[in-house]
Amino acid sequence: MTTPSNPFDPNAWLSLWTRALNPGADAPADRRFAADAWQKDPRFAPLAQGYLQLSALMNQALDAAPLDERSKGQWSFALRQVVDAMSPANCLATNPEALQTALDSGGASLVEGARLFLADMSQGRIAMSDGEAFEVGRNLATTPGSVVFENELMQLIQYTPVTPQVHQRPLLIVPPCINKFYILDLQPENSLVAYAVAQGHTVFLVSWRNVGPELGHLGWDDYIEQGVLQAVTVTRRISRADRVNTLGFCIGGTLLASALAVAAARDEQPVASLTLLTTMLDFSDTGELGLMVDEAMVAAREASIGQGGLLRGRELAQVFAALRANDLIWPYVVNGYLKGQAPAAFDLLFWNGDDTNLPGPMYCWYLRQTYLENRLCEPGGTVQCGVPVDLSLIDVPAFVYASREDHIVPWQTAYASTHLLGGDSRFVLGASGHIAGVINPPAKRKRHHWTGAVQPEASDWLEAAQQVDGSWWPDWTDWLRPHAGALVAAPRKAGNSEFPVIEAAPGRYVKTAAA
């Protein structure tokens, strides 16, 4: 589809309506309007064409507006929400597919759509997956293991080895605390946890508690001390290893790096390597999420929940969905409410709807110190657990992974971590987005990734990088193997006398729903 170059030229608007009334000359290239009725029916094709060209003109007008980049980005986000909502595909009267489905079903699709709408209203969210198809511990998070430690904030899971020998140094995984850990252990065929176990690693994993009001007083330091550092200590005591390998995903990586910097400030180096998956340590470019954070917003949060209270997981989920409304909101409105089609069973989207609450003080500290003031990347810029934090003191090998189409952690921002950490870094860039890029098992032979030596700038790295077909997981395990120590007999049971088994994995904490 072509649009006029000057949105303020009256001829641009004349061209818009001319093309809208002659849709065959310029068929819309948009999956919302891919059906024949949108392209050939004279009642609906002009709607699709007119909508798309009007949207393009509005975006061009915003691009030409005399605004600074941040203001333009904020207005662009707001405009996209309005434009996406105004799509003729979202309205029954202007959606030929929904109308035809209603005719073919004798109105049954509309009755079912109303039922789905009321069900979603009662839950307070748009369902993206069949809520009855999955259950944590039954067909999600099923990798065998045991909970070997717990406190008020987290449980520590030790997974059962499947190889006769394991590497001497275990692998400790710190998942994000804003979501449930089982994104890394969805089902056996796409479980990063199961894959790591199969490679001969004794895997430990932090399962964060879905906090309620009684834990609304916890702060960032609690997540460092009671969470990450406690998990490192228990993992070392159970494995009797000199050091452990560590992996952090998203904000779990931010917590992990912060904890290791705290340990370094205490003259401790308890880990042999650090893996960061789609993690930000330098928050100078935070993408569209950063556009929503300013002094007034953070101050309001601090006043309301900064001294105690909860950030509800549902609120975060709505923000993330708004970043990709045409993927995570409107398709489910159209298919569900207009066409009467219940969402299919999809493990990743089931996980996406499993909300997790955060303590207000922890969330507010994170917002101010990272997204608003970007102090974490400054040596001594933050004081955590009573010590000034300097990421360059983390003098261990690091594997830094980013996803090229990540809308939450821009890959260039993740790349900046290679220059903040004190040890040698390897950077790998995967295809796809924040989640799909990470959860890419080798057996599926999907996508590709890029590898190359670390360069001064991200653009230099990409220019010199080599594209490799398939998953990045084998590259990571090849890198991790030399840091994992010699092979020893696999442990016959989980835990030890100091840390006996509490319950079977995945444990109670991950099954707790957000109130």
DSSP secondary structure string for all residues of 2-26: ---S-TTSHHHHHHHHHHHT-GGGS
pLDDT number for residue 18: 56
Buried b (16+ CB within 10 A) or exposed e, 498-507: ebebbeebbb
pLDDT digits (tens, 9 = 90+) for 384-394: 999 999 999 99
User: Which residue spans of the chain are classified as CATH 3.40.50.1820?
Assistant: 145-290+379-511
Which pLDDT band, with edges at 50, 70 and 90, does 23 fall under? low
| Cα angle 221, 157, 315; round to 5 | 55
Instruction: Name residue, tokens 């064409």.
Output: 49
- pLDDT for 313 equals 87
The dihedrals phi and psi of 56, each to the nearest 5 degrees, come to -65, -40
The stretch 369-375 carries a mean pLDDT of: 97
Q: CA-CA distance, 263 to 68, in Å (whole number)?
A: 41
Q: Is the pLDDT of residue 8 over 90?
A: no
Q: Yes or no: say if 169 and 485 are a contact pair by the CB < 8 Å rule.
A: yes
- Classify 264 as helix, strand or coil: helix
* 261-298 per-position pLDDT tens digit: 999 999 999 999 999 999 999 999 998 888 889 999 99
Taking phi over 0 as left and psi of -120 to 50 as alpha, with beta for the rest, 380 belongs to left
Could you tell me how far CA 513 lies from the centroid of its own chain?
A: 19
pLDDT at res. 24: 52
What percent of the chain shows pLDDT beyond 70? 95
What is the pLDDT at residue 17? 52
What's the pLDDT score for residue 288? 87
Question: Mean of the pLDDT values across residues 377-382?
Answer: 97
- pLDDT the model gives residue 495: 96
Kindly tell me if the per-residue pLDDT of 2 is higher than 50: no
Per-residue DSSP letter, 372:
I
Q: Which long-range contacts (CB under 8 A, 24 or more apart) does 119-128 make?
A: 120/336, 124/314, 125/314, 125/317, 125/318, 125/353, 126/329, 126/332, 126/333, 126/336, 127/332, 127/336, 127/342, 127/343, 127/353, 128/328, 128/332, 128/343, 128/346, 128/349, 128/350, 128/352, 128/353
Share above pLDDT 90 across residues of the chain, in percent, rounded to a whole number = 79
Phi, psi at residue 393, to the nearest 5°?
-80, -10
What is the pLDDT confidence band of residue 324, given thresholds at 50, 70 and 90? confident
| C-alpha distances in Å from residue 98, one per residue of 38, 260, 342 | 12, 54, 14
Average pLDDT over residues 119-124: 88
Cα–Cα distance, 382 to 368 (Å, whole number): 11
Q: Which long-range contacts (CB under 8 A, 24 or more apart) does 347-350 make?
A: 347/129, 347/134, 347/140, 347/186, 347/187, 347/190, 348/183, 348/186, 348/435, 348/436, 348/439, 349/128, 349/129, 350/128, 350/129, 350/130, 350/131, 350/133, 350/134, 350/140
Q: Which fold is adopted by the domain 145-290+379-511?
A: Rossmann fold (3.40.50)
**Does residue 25 surpass a pLDDT of 60?**
no
Q: Could you say which DSSP state residue 267 is in?
A: T
Is the link from the previous residue into 506 a cis peptide, with omega within 30 of 0? yes
Predicted confidence (pLDDT) per residue in 157-180, tens digit: 999 999 999 999 999 999 999 999
Of the candidates 359, 292, 314, 298, the one whose C-alpha atom is nearest the C-alpha of residue 81 is 292
9-18, 213-222, 471-480: least confidently modelled range: 9-18
Q: Which of 211-225, 288-302, 416-430 has the lowest mean pLDDT?
A: 288-302
* Beta bridge partners of residue 361, listed in sequence order: none
pLDDT of residue 489: 96
Q: Report d(CA 234, CA 487) in Å as an integer.
A: 21
What local confidence, expressed as pLDDT, does residue 466 receive?
96
pLDDT at 27 over 80: no
Q: State whether residue 118 is helix, strand or coil.
A: helix
Q: What is the pLDDT of residue 1?
A: 45
Residue range 40-55: mean pLDDT, rounded: 90
CA-CA distances (angstroms) from residue 131 to 164, 238, 439? 38, 37, 21
For residue range 331-369, what is the model confidence (pLDDT) as tens digits? 999 999 999 999 999 999 999 889 899 999 999 999 999
Annotated catalytic residue 91: no
Q: Which candidate in 91, 177, 250, 377 is catalytic?
A: 250
